[in-house]
Each structure stands twice: as structure tokens, then as C-alpha cells.
């Protein structure tokens, strides 16, 4: 998989798979009363639609295991074969003193350790560049005796907290307060930096790949996240293979990989479900009020709205969207329809869920192929289990000499 030809072959296979099945993963069940594929795969649609909300929740993180009618199992097998990434080889990087580790929140520390353990060792001292560093925990963790650290972060409070932590750990570090998307960021990258980024969103990590390649950084390690955080609606592919593809992605498509979530707590889940059931019920109402069978986007609402009676909720939201005030009706029945729809939506989403990893892998390979074009040898794999973070892919790039 990590040989250059393998990366490109995998990309082409994923590209074909995603294009062939775009009608299955693109339409969002939340915004439609019926999906375009349901007529063609009516057994699968009927089967999914009669399942409960609890059953959908259970299958959310392992949709491929669902014993659903065709073509679900075949698609699940193909998706898995195309998007399973190898676990990167790991060696315990270093042990910081417990005093230094104390400042890093538990889950973040486990992610940082797993990330660091996958970086190739070096005999030479390194100058780490921690990109969108927050407090710079990752950079500090990597900085061993003789190394230096530069951390870039636009939030002044985080940069200042980072400075204090680095001083306390007696690490030679500079924490720059800089917006990495501005021209000024260019000056912070040189051919002497080993660049790292843990969970830098869409445009932020893309910018790092571009600037680090331009500067000739010898090593780049990036764990991307939030692919949909880009300027504009349309994704701009990086590699020539992705630019040549007929697959055109917009920010709604780019959000698909992020729909895989670490299981939320019961209270959080109940609140999320309640909010979505109400939105789906309101969606039925707004179609009626407007006389148009189309989805109408609504803004995210303060959680206090959920404590209002459902009738008041609907009247408020109708007013907010400039719709006529809904007349008295059986509000309990409408709200119940929202819950029924929610169970259907969540189960129908399990088909889309099969494409989360293929789409993410396509995006990762676009980045990997771009780096190869820029003269890097690239390794793509996972650095931890998805239970620690579903954004567990790591791109490792070493500049090829010459």
C-alpha cells in the first residue's frame, strides 16, 4: 500500500468505487423524505426503515457488520478492502517526566504518544515545527535533548500557555502567535524544520503540506481532521490524479467522513436525538406550510429551545424562517412523526456510513500523491485505534534526497 504505485493504484480503485456509487452516498437522508436509491434497492430500504433508533446507534461505528439485504454486504466488503489502512509501525518514543505529562489531558496524551511513536527515529537533533499547536503539547512531547521547537498557533491565550509550559519543561521553544493561512506564515517554515500537525482542520493542514513542500522540510507528519473546513463550497484537489478525476466534492460531501463519532454520553445523545427528532418533525411541517416538498435548512438553535413545548418550538422556528404561523394541530402526533423519521434516517445513514472511510482514504491519498509529486516518499497508515480518535490516519513524508 505504501509503495508509490500502490498509493496511486489504490487511489484509482477508490475513485472508481466512489464514482460508481455516488447515488448511494451523496444524498443525505436527513434532508429527503425518500432517497433516490430506495426504488432500486427496495428490500434494503424497507429493511433499514423498520429498524429502531437503538439498533441504528448500535451499528453506527461498525456498519460493515450489519446483516442487511443486498447490496449492503457486497458494498461493505469492497469498502473495507479499499479503505483499510495498515497500522503504522510504532516504537515507544520517549518518556517525559510525570510532571510534564500532567499538563496534557488524558485522551490527548494517548493520541500524542501514539502519534509520536510512529515517527521515524533520527540520529540528528531536530527542529520541530508544531502547526496549529494549541498549547504545543505534541511539539513539547517530541522535543528531546538537543532538539528545538517552534509552535504556531493563532489563539494568543493558547500560545502564551504553551510558552509557560515550555519554560517550565526547560525546552528551547518559541510559540508564535500567527494565523497560518496568512502570508506571514510562510516565513515560519524553513528547510530545517520537521513539521508535525495533529488534527489540523481542512485548509490548515493543506496549507502546511503546501508550505512545507515549498520550503523543502525534510519530514512532514500530519494527522488531518475536519476535511470540510475549507474556504468556499468546493474541494480543490491537490494531486494531479485527483484533479483529473471526475469526482467533484463539495463541503457536504467532505463532511461524510466526520459523521463517524466516538460514542457520546447518554445525556448528550438524548439531547442530540431530541433536537434532531424535532427538526425532522418541523421539516414535515415546513413542507406543508410552504406547499413545497423540499428541505429548508434551519440554523443551529440554543438547547433552551428543546425545553419549550413543541408547539412553541415550531411557531418560533416558523417565524425565524419567515413562514406563516402554523395553526393549532395535534402537536404530539407531529413530534412523534419526527421520532419515527429519526429512526429511519439513522438507519438509512448506515448505507452512507459504508463510504465514510473510502471517501476519507480518497482524500488522504490525494494528499499523499501530492506530496509524492513534491519529491517525498510517503507512508500512510493509522497511528491509533479509532476508539481513541476516529481521525486516526497519519501521513508520514520524508523528502527524497536530490
Closest of 153, 155, 151, 156 to residue 141, by C-alpha: 151
Nearest distance from residue 159's CB to ligand SAM, in Å? 9
- Counts for the chain of helices (H) and strands (E), in that order: 16, 7
The H or E element spanning position 210 is: helix 202-215
Window of 176-184, 272-280, 324-332, 383-391 that interacts with ligand SAM by CB under 6 A: 176-184
DSSP secondary structure code for residue 245 in this structure:
S
Among 45, 79, 173, 180, binds ligand SAM (CB under 6 A): 180
Give the C-alpha separation, 307 to 115, whole Å: 42
- Smaller CB separation from ligand SAM, 53 or 195: 195
196 phi and psi angles, rounded to 5 deg: -130, 145
Q: C-beta of 176: minimal distance to ligand SAM in Å?
A: 9
Alpha-carbon span 377 to 398, nearest angstrom: 5
Closer CB to ligand SAM, 202 or 237, in the complex:
202
Pick 137 or 357: Cβ nearer ligand SAM? 137
Angstrom distance (rounded) from CA 119 to CA 54: 40
Residue 64 or residue 110: which is nearer to ligand SAM going by CB? 110
**369 lies in the site for ligand SAM, by CB under 6 A:** no
Nearer to ligand SAM, 29 or 134 (CB): 134
**DSSP state, 250?**
B
Binding residues among 57-96 for ligand SAM as defined by CB under 6 A: none
Q: In the bound complex, what is the minimum distance in angstroms from residue 385's beta carbon to ligand SAM? A: 17
Q: Rounded to an integer, what distance in angstroms lies between the CA atom of residue 81 and that of residue 67? A: 18
Distance of CA 212 to the CA centre of its chain: 22
Taking Cα atoms as reference points, which of 175, 198, 169, 17 lies closest to residue 97? 169
Q: 96 or 138: whose CB is closer to ligand SAM?
A: 138
Strands 219-224, 376-382: parallel, antiparallel or unpaired by DSSP?
unpaired
**Contact pattern from residue 131 through residue 170 relative to ligand SAM, giving x for each residue in contact according to CB under 6 A and a dash for the rest:** -xxx--xx-------------xxxx--x------------
- Interacting positions 4-63 with ligand SAM (CB under 6 A): none
Closer to ligand SAM by CB, 15 or 153: give it.
Answer: 153
Q: Cell 481532521 maps to which residue?
A: 225
Closest CB to ligand SAM among 199 and 399? Answer: 199
Distances (CA, A) of 91 to 113, 197, 255: 10, 19, 33
Strand, helix or coil at 169? coil
- Binding to ligand SAM, residues 95-134 (CB under 6 A): 108, 132-134
Near ligand SAM by CB under 6 A, which window of 54-62, 175-183, 212-220, 266-274?
175-183
Interface with ligand SAM: number of residues (CB under 6 A)? 18
CA gap 310, 297 in Å, rounded: 19
Window 194 to 233, contacts with ligand SAM (CB under 6 A): 198-200, 204
C-alpha distances in Å from residue 308, one per residue of 12, 107, 278 = 51, 36, 11
Candidates 3-11, 20-28, 179-187, 340-348 — which segment interacts with ligand SAM by CB under 6 A? 179-187
Closer residue to ligand SAM in complex, CB, 137/278: 137
Residues that bind ligand SAM (CB under 6 A): 108, 132-134, 137-138, 152-155, 158, 179-181, 198-200, 204
Amino acid at each position: 500500500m505504501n509503495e508509490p504505485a500502490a498509493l496511486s493504484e489504490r487511489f484509482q480503485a477508490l475513485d472508481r468505487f466512489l464514482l460508481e456509487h455516488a447515488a448511494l452516498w451523496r444524498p443525505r437522508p436527513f434532508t429527503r423524505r425518500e432517497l433516490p436509491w430506495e426504488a432500486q434497492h427496495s428490500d434494503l430500504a424497507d429493511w433499514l426503515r423498520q429498524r429502531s433508533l437503538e439498533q441504528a446507534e448500535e451499528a453506527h461505528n461498525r456498519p460493515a457488520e450489519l446483516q442487511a439485504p443486498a447490496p449492503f454486504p457486497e458494498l461493505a466488503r469492497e469498502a473495507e478492502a479499499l479503505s483499510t489502512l495498515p497500522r503504522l509501525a510504532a516504537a515507544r518514543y520517549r518518556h517525559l517526566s510525570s510532571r510534564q505529562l500532567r499538563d496534557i489531558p488524558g485522551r490527548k496524551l494517548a493520541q500524542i504518544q501514539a502519534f509520536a511513536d510512529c515517527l521515524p527515529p533520527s540520529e540528528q537533533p531536530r527542529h520541530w515545527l508544531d502547526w496549529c499547536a494549541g498549547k504545543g503539547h505534541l511539539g513539547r512531547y517530541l522535543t528531546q535533548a538537543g532538539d528545538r521547537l517552534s509552535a504556531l498557533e493563532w489563539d494568543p491565550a493558547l500560545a502564551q500557555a504553551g510558552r509557560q509550559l515550555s519554560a517550565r519543561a526547560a525546552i528551547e521553544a518559541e510559540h508564535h502567535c500567527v494565523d497560518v493561512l496568512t502570508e506571514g506564515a510562510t516565513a515560519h517554515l524553513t528547510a530545517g524544520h520537521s513539521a508535525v500537525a495533529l488534527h489540523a482542520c481542512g485548509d490548515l493542514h493543506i496549507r502546511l503540506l503546501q508550505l512545507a513542500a515549498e520550503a523543502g522540510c525534510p519530514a512532514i507528519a500530519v494527522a488531518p481532521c475536519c476535511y470540510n473546513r475549507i474556504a468556499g463550497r468546493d474541494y480543490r484537489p491537490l494531486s494531479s490524479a485527483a484533479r483529473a478525476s471526475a469526482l467533484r466534492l463539495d463541503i457536504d460531501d467532505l463532511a461524510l467522513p466526520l459523521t463517524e463519532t466516538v460514542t457520546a454520553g447518554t445525556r448528550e445523545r438524548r439531547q442530540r436525538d431530541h433536537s434532531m427528532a424535532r427538526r425532522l418533525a418541523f421539516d414535515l411541517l415546513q413542507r406543508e406550510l410552504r406547499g413545497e416538498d423540499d428541505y429548508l435548512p434551519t440554523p443551529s438553535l440554543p438547547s433552551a429551545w428543546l425545553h419549550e413545548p413543541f408547539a412553541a418550538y415550531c411557531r418560533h422556528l416558523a417565524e425565524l424562517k419567515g413562514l406563516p404561523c402554523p395553526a393549532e394541530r395535534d402537536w404530539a402526533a407531529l413530534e412523534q412523526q419526527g421520532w419515527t423519521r429519526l429512526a429511519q434516517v439513522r438507519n438509512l445513514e448506515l448505507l452512507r456510513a459504508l463510504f465514510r472511510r473510502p471517501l476519507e482514504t480518497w482524500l488522504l491519498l490525494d494528499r499523499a500523491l501530492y506530496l509524492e509529486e513534491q519529491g517525498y516518499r510517503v507512508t500512510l497508515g493509522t497511528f491509533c485505534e479509532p476508539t481513541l480518535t476516529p481521525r486516526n490516519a497519519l501521513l508520514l513524508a520524508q523528502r527524497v534526497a536530490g
